[in-house]
């Protein structure tokens, strides 16, 4: 299992949470959401370095949180952009020169386990790009602008993408550069890989690896953590 560097986009806001601050700073069982994310990443055997991508206004608070955790891996802080895509691009430019493999993991996915990070890192030894994902349970409907159903795709072919997403650093940098030149706008890095006709492997994710976006998500995350800690 090759060593991996981790980038954690945490430059968002609390808009959908109805909060007055970045959602990763909200409390979850006595610690900020981002603290749980950082601890999981730092506990993974393959992880050697963590970069937190954030807005300048949040940086002092995030630095204080990271310092209080006494993590075993070095943590750097990187200025975020106006979009997630820009933020990850900034993060890639700030990776240490020796970085060959990178895992990108949303700061708000605070329930990912160290084992998931390590399984994704191990998979990068045999593929250039990957995404943690879980099979979709619900029947999915494709609808038009008038809310009419157009098609019902085969559920067996549908997976819900999570993070970490992992990549060969040089290839992902090339994909981001091409994305800038072509004006592509994507919601995750795997989509950039796909647009560049590069292979993306699915690594089985975790059902509990939810992204905390709404107050309901926060309540579910609290329930899951209480079960783990009991």
pLDDT at 14 > cutoff 60: no
Residue 59, SS3?
helix
Residue pair 105/37 in contact by the 8 Å Cβ criterion: yes
pLDDT at 142 over 70: yes
CB 42 within 8 A of CB 34: no
Reported as a single tens digit per residue, the pLDDT across 190-212 is 999 999 999 999 999 999 999 99
CA–CA separation, 66 and 77 (whole Å): 10
Q: Classify strands 142-143 and 149-151 as parallel, antiparallel or unpaired.
A: antiparallel
If 0-12 CB within 10 Å is exposed, 13-18 middle and 19+ buried, where does residue 220 land? Answer: middle
Q: Per residue in 60-115, pLDDT tens?
A: 999 999 999 999 999 999 999 999 999 999 999 999 999 999 999 999 999 999 99
How would residue 16 be classed by pLDDT, with cut points 50, 70 and 90?
A: low
Mean pLDDT of 135-145: 95
pLDDT tier, 15 (very low <50, low <70, confident <90, very high otherwise): low
pLDDT per residue as tens digits for the range 30-62: 999 999 999 999 999 999 999 999 999 999 999
146-194: per-residue pLDDT in tens?
A: 999 999 999 999 999 999 999 999 999 999 999 999 999 998 999 999 9
8 A C-beta contact, residue 118 and residue 44? yes
The token pair that represents 198 in the structure block: 């590069």
- Candidates 122, 209, 131; CA nearest to 164 is 131
Report the half-sphere exposure of 180 (CA within 13 A, side-chain side): 12
């Amino acid at each position: 299992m090759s060593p991996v560097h981790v980038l954690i986009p945490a430059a968002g806001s609390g808009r959908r949470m109805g909060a007055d601050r970045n959602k990763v700073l909200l409390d979850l069982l006595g610690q900020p959401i981002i603290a749980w994310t950082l601890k999981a990443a730092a506990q993974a055997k393959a992880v050697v370095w963590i970069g937190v991508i954030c807005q300048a206004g949040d940086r002092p608070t995030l630095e204080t949180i990271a310092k209080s955790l006494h993590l075993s891996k070095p943590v750097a802080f990187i200025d975020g952009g106006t979009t997630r895509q820009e933020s990850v691009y900034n993060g890639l430019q700030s990776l240490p020169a020796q970085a060959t493999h990178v895992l990108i993991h949303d700061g708000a996915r605070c329930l990912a386990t160290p084992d998931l990070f390590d399984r994704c890192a191990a998979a990068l030894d045999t593929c250039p790009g990957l995404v943690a994902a879980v099979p979709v349970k619900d029947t999915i409907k494709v609808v038009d602008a008038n809310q009419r159903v157009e098609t019902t795709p085969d559920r067996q072919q549908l997976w819900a993408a999570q993070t970490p997403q992992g990549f060969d650093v040089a290839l992902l940098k090339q994909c981001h550069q091409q994305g800038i030149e072509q004006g592509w706008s994507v919601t995750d890095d795997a989509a950039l890989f796909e647009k560049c006709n590069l292979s993306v492997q699915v690594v089985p994710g975790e059902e509990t690896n939810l992204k905390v976006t709404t107050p309901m998500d926060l309540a579910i995350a609290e329930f899951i953590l209480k079960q783990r800690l009991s």
